[in-house]
């Protein structure tokens, strides 16, 4: 997105232009939803949390000073929402897995998956990811989504770039060990 357009969009939103805010939701909804759905691994919860993110963006826009990019600020809100959700008690929550509700496009198994033989392997991967700490899940989800750069993630999480990379490597190390041992 062009920075100028982003500034204009923010200004229009600040003036209470509902159409502008709708445009903002349209621009960022796929990234926000995918990031949250991959982190919480529950579609209906992910939709609720994604709406929470846009609600916070709406409330916070008057105070958004434009020092960071809008996308970075939104990632920061996503990170906070995901980590706060992880801290909440999970009792009685109905979960719908990502596979259950995946659309027709999602049912297409990629060539890589076929080579590994494996909806089963993918299932193991998802289970292993679910066992990671929330902040590791978040960096894994963000790094493997198109459009989220290390730099954006570091700024959003307010961590040095090196720390984000280290967290990612540790997350993958833990994931590899989980797949090797407990989930074999």
Quick check: 43 binds another protein (CB under 8 A)? yes
In order, the DSSP letters of the chain are: --HHHHHHHHHHHHTT-HHHHHHHHHHHHHHHHHHHHHHH--HHHHHHHHHHHHHHHHHHGGG--SSS-HHHHHHHHHHHHHHHHHHS--TT-----TTTT--HHHHSPPHHHHHTT-HHHHHHHHHHHHTS-HHHHHHHHHHTSTT--HHHHHHHHT--HHHHHHHHHHHHHHHHHHHHTTT-
Answer for which of 8, 17, 22, 90 binds another protein (CB under 8 A) is: 22
Six token digits for residue 78: 């996503």
Answer for which of 62, 89, 92, 103 binds another protein (CB under 8 A) is: 103
Q: Tell me if 178 sits within 8 A of 131, measured CB to CB.
A: yes
For another protein, the closer of residues 29 and 76 by Cβ is 29
Question: Which span sits near another protein by CB under 8 A: 4-12, 61-69, 81-89, 110-118?
Answer: 110-118
Answer for which of 6, 51, 86, 159 binds another protein (CB under 8 A) is: 51
Question: Which span sits near another protein by CB under 8 A: 63-71, 82-90, 138-146, 155-163?
Answer: 138-146
For another protein, the closer of residues 89 and 117 by Cβ is 117
Quick check: 161 binds another protein (CB under 8 A)? no
**Minimum CB distance to another protein, residue 63 (Å):** 15
The three-point CA angle 136-141-143 to 5° equals 95
Please give the residue ranges that form the binding site for another protein (CB under 8 A): 18, 21-22, 25-26, 29-30, 33-34, 37-38, 43, 46-47, 50-51, 54-55, 58, 98, 102-103, 105-106, 110, 112-113, 116, 121-122, 125, 140, 144-146, 165, 168-169, 172-173, 175-176, 179-180
């Amino acid at each position: 997105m062009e920075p100028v357009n982003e500034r204009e969009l923010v200004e229009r939103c600040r003036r209470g232009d509902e159409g502008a805010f709708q445009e903002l939701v349209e621009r960022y909804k796929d990234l926000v939803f995918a990031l949250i759905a991959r982190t919480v691994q529950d579609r209906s919860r992910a939709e609720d949390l994604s709406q929470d993110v846009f609600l916070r963006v709406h409330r916070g826009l008057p105070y958004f000073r434009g020092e960071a990019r809008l996308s970075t600020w939104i990632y920061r809100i996503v990170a906070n929402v995901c980590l706060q959700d992880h801290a909440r008690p999970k009792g009685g929550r109905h979960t719908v897995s990502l596979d259950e509700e995946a659309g027709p496009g999602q049912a297409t198994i990629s060539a890589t998956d076929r080579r590994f033989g494996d909806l089963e392997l993918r299932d193991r991967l998802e289970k292993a990811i679910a066992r990671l700490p929330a902040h590791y899940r978040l960096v894994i989800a963000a790094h493997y989504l198109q459009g989220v750069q290390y730099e954006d993630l570091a700024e959003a999480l307010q961590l040095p770039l090196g720390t984000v990379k280290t967290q990612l490597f540790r997350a993958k190390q833990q994931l590899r060990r989980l797949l090797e041992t407990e989930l074999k």
